[in-house]
Structure 1
Amino acid sequence: MKNSLLAVMLFLMLPFHVGASPEDSVRVSLLTCSPGTEIYALFGHTALRYENKQTGMDLVFNYGMFDFNAPHFIWRYIKGETDYQLGVSDYFFFEKEYAMRNSSVYQQTLNLLPEEQEKLFEILKENYLPQNRVYRYNFFYDNCSTRPRDRIEDCIQGRVMYTENNAPISFRDIVHQFTAGNKWAEFGIDFCLGSDADKVADYRQKMFAPYYLRDALKGASIKATYGKQRALVSEAREIVSRSADREVSSPHYPSPMLTGWLLFILVLAATYYGYKKQKTYWGIDVVLFAMAGAAGCVIAFLASISEHPAVSPNYLLFVFHPFHLLYLPFLVLKAKKRKKDLYHLANLIVLTLFIGFFYLLPQKINFAVVPLALCLWIRSLYYVFLTYKRNR
């Protein structure tokens, strides 16, 4: 594999002109890969395939490469400084990889003129130069799906005319289409995305998802500068097929919704027991408010510092915020001394408003958040009630 990639890289540094080959010896295609099971593969993938029968070259240009071993990768990823790069591999290895994953690969052969094919290949070679291959990845606006589309448009002698899919759908709803089988991934993504993700995506913005790009190309045409029009795709077929015999059953973890309600039942039962004993059991509050505060730190960081798109504003900060963590020592101290705590009263008011009116917010809230908010709500309600009763 390494030797093959080295040969590819050395070859790309050499001058090459596809115009020297017969017209039918070169083929450029868009590859669309079906979703995988890993979280980074849930949305599928897009790549460009370049074939030259005369030279025997068959390469895949992939804008979705990243290096886990890069310095400070995790920290940079959280900050939104996500650097992806263009990778090149032999098609043979690309096909084997997706066949092993049991993912389908669809190929759409592009109906390009010889000079357009040559220009696209030159653009890809230039993009692969060490100083050009790394780019700042942006999940919604600049990713492994939008980059191949843009490179195709760059080589066209004219303009690409898409059949505009203007059915109203938000970025978040598109994400949900691909996370439907993985509720925890959906919950985690919803947790991080803010209200901007609920904006309606136009027909072009929808192409951040590989399947939407594939569908957009089906009815697309090229309007040449001299007025003639031709289809953008000359042939479409499945070149790697999923095997039904190799389908892997998903692990049966409790869903976020079920987990949330089970936690709420436990908290409610513990609170009721505490009421019978006339005790606060503040250890429960330490765990709940510490977890809520830690989650709030993540949301606050994403909303205020991270460069990730569509993470700010995030109305979940009404429920999960860093103040829970900062106030925790005072919360424990007042619980031990059985003093009034205005923090619980304020939290009770805010959570009551959030739970009662969250459907009016300009952000689609994952329903699994409701039982988690109720856990905090019931603890604050109990503390306010208990201190009021004692003071009477």
Structure 2
Amino acid sequence: MKKLLVLLYLILASWSVRAQQDSVRVSLLTCAPGTEIYELFGHTAIRYENPAEGKDLVFNYGIFSFNTPNFVLRFVKGETDYRLGVVPYSYFEGEYAVRGSSVYQQTLNLTDEEKQKIWDLLEENYRPGNRIYRYNYFYDNCTTRARDKIEDCIDGKVVYPQAEEGVTFRDIVHRCTKGNEWDELGIDLCLGSEADVPIDGRKQMFAPFNMLEAARGAVIMQGDSVRPLVLSESKVVDVEPEEAEPGFPLSPLSCVCILLVVTCIIVWLQLKWKKVIWAWDLLLFGAQGLAGCIIAFLFFFSIHPTVGSNWLIVLFNPIPLIYLPVMIYKAIKGRKDLYHLINMAYLTFFIMIMPFIQQEFNVTVLPLALCLLVCSTGHVFLYYRQNSK
């Protein structure tokens, strides 16, 4: 009888342990975009639930602080450090509900051993000496980190479905910035030709919703065994997106077209009055030079991916800003300025080769180049008109 009771106790204990193990869930969380520029692409995190131990935690690799010393400079240089943060799920859920971002949960089809592995891995990753990492927007971000940690705990190989072919980093960025034309313009001006090279499915997973789609069709292969990566999917935060505050009413293209019309009017007035309106040179070429300083800094000093191959450095560079005092002085004195003759030929050449450069330029680039070309052409015509008598 005593042996029977012991055996019954062992069976019940085994069932209890098994039930506790089965109650553990590991999920991939994908958050809908917000309204800020750094929220436009969405977000990814890992949820770990262990009701028997009272654990319901979210591991978030997307934590950063604007208060970090020299944050803007470090971000531009590509030296931004992100860290792993851990919060109770209720806090995470509340934050995204208030923000107006829905959250999708994909419960992973992991074995008990794999669940324990990912817990140990995440716990180790959260140690003070391990939680900080060097963020890289395309190759090492909150989404790729979550994917890699999940793969590291799996006994077998995760095989993802065939990804869309011919997709580039810029294509995915444009999908995420759709409807936010000014943000898209800023990003487009920074990205170079490397952003227009087709990428494979794994690289496409840098974007949270690309990762969600990939996980949805992925399988785990272990020997002859094949099981789906995702056991179930649900929408754990279902809210209406927060309405973005009204931005600038005109699109970048509209503004640049207006700028081109104004430049043409200024040039016409200069020819009519036979006098250079040098304040317009100060505004136009000064803005070109300032934009060129940013692009040149990214081109030569930033370690961000793709910015070092930006052909826009041909159009936007610091030379006009450096030369600007001489340009204004000669304009005021009515002296010949070879800069405008050279610039006219230079810009004409750039516009002609644009279709052949393996880089997708923002729609505003051509009218911007035409503004500069019209302005320099006006200077050349004005000088020869004044000295043709």
TM-score, normalized by the shorter chain, greater than 0.5 = yes
Indicate the residue corresponding to 2:231 in structure 1. 234
What is the match of residue 81 of structure 1? 79
Aligned match of 1:293: 289
Query: Do the aligned residues in 1 keep the contact of 2:35 with 2:244 (CA within 8 Å)?
Result: no
Q: Is the CA contact 1:30–1:47 (under 8 Å) kept in the aligned structure 2? A: yes
Instruction: Name the counterpart of 1:380.
Output: 376
- 2:139 corresponds in structure 1 to 141
Partner of 1:186: 184
**Counterparts of 2:239 and 2:175, CA distance in 1:** 20
Structure 2 equivalent of residue 201 of structure 1: 199
C-alpha spacing 1:302/1:252, structure 2 compared with 1 (3 Å) = closer
Once the two structures are TM-superposed, the CA of residue 267 in structure 1 deviates from its matched residue by 1.7
Letter in 2 for 1:190: D
Counterpart Cα distance in 2 of 1:62 and 1:378: 51
SS of equivalent residue, structure 1 residue 85: strand
- The structure 2 residue matched to 1:69, chosen from 67, 70, 78, is 67
Deviation at 1:287, TM superposition (A): 1.1
Partner of 2:344: 348
Shift of 1:248: 4.6
1:312 counterpart SS class: helix
Structure 2 counterpart of 1:345, one-letter code: L
Aligned 8 A contact 2:59 2:84 in 1: yes
After superposition, where does 1:325-364 map in structure 2 within 5 Å?
325-364=321-360
TM-score normalised to structure 2 length: 0.93
Structure 2 residue identity aligned to 1:312: G
Task: Tell me the secondary structure at the aligned position of residue 139 of structure 1.
Answer: coil
| Matches of 2:177 and 2:83, distance apart in 1 | 25
Establish whether residue 50 from structure 1 lines up as the match of residue 33 from structure 2. no
Q: Is the 8 A contact 1:21 1:54 kept in 2?
A: no
Match of 1:27 in 2: 25
The offset of 1:252, in angstroms, is 5.3
Identity %: 51
For 1:248 and 1:138, how far apart are their aligned partners in 2?
27
Contact 2:302/2:308, CA 8 A, preserved across alignment: no
CA contact (8 A) 1:196 1:313 kept: yes
Q: How far apart are 1:247 and its partner, in Å?
A: 4.1
For residues 68 and 249 of structure 1, do their structure 2 counterparts lie closer, same or farther at Cα, with a shift above 3 Å needed? closer
2:268 maps to amino acid:
Y
Give the superposition deviation at 1:227.
Answer: 2.7
Instruction: Tell me the residue number matched to 1:130.
Output: 128
What residue is the counterpart of 1:114 in the other structure?
Answer: 112
Q: Which of 298, 303, 307 is the equivalent residue of 1:307?
A: 303
1:143 Cα deviation after fit: 0.4
- Determine whether 1:253 maps to 2:252: no
Q: Which residue of 2 aligns with 1:11?
A: none
The Cα offsets for residues 326-385 of structure 1, whole Å up to 9 and x where unpaired, read as 111111122122222221111111211222331221111001122222221111001111
How far apart, CA to CA, are the structure 2 residues paired with 1:379 and 1:248?
37
| Equivalent pair of 2:93/2:237 in contact (CA under 8 Å) | yes
Q: Is the 8 A contact 2:274 2:386 kept in 1?
A: no
Alignment deviations for residues 155-211 of structure 1 (CA, whole Å, 9 cap, x no partner): 010110111204211100110001011000000000111111111111100000000
CA distance in 2, matches of 1:173, 1:334: 45
Structure 1: where are the runs of 5+ without partners? 1-18
Q: Closer, same or farther in 2 for the Cα pair 1:249/1:334, shift >3 Å?
A: closer
Q: Which has the larger radius of gyration?
A: 2
Equivalents in 1 of 2:326, 2:269: separation in Å?
A: 24
Structure 1: how far apart are the matches of 2:151 and 2:215?
12
Instruction: Specify the alignment match of 2:260 in structure 1.
Output: 264
TM-score with structure 1 length normalisation? 0.92
For residue 336 of structure 2, what is the amino acid of its counterpart? K
Partners of 2:269 and 2:325 in 1: how far apart? Answer: 24
Question: The residue matched to 1:235 in structure 2 has which SS?
Answer: strand
Deviation larger for 42-51 or 308-317 = 308-317
Q: Report the Cα distance in structure 1 between the residues aligned to 2:245 and 2:308, rounded to whole angstroms.
A: 36
Cα distance 1:252–1:386, how it changes in 2: closer, same or farther (>3 A)? closer
Tell me the amino acid that sits aligned with residue 234 of structure 1.
L
- Tell whether the 8 Å contact from 1:47 to 1:61 is kept in structure 2 after alignment: yes
The aligned residue for residue 216 of structure 1 is 214
Work out whether residues 170 and 198 of structure 1, in 8 Å CA contact, stay in contact via their aligned partners in 2.
Answer: yes
For the 8 Å contact 2:160–2:215, the answer to whether it is kept is yes
Query: How large is the RMSD of aligned CA atoms in angstroms?
Result: 1.5
C-alpha separation between the residues in 2 aligned to 1:57 and 1:329? 65
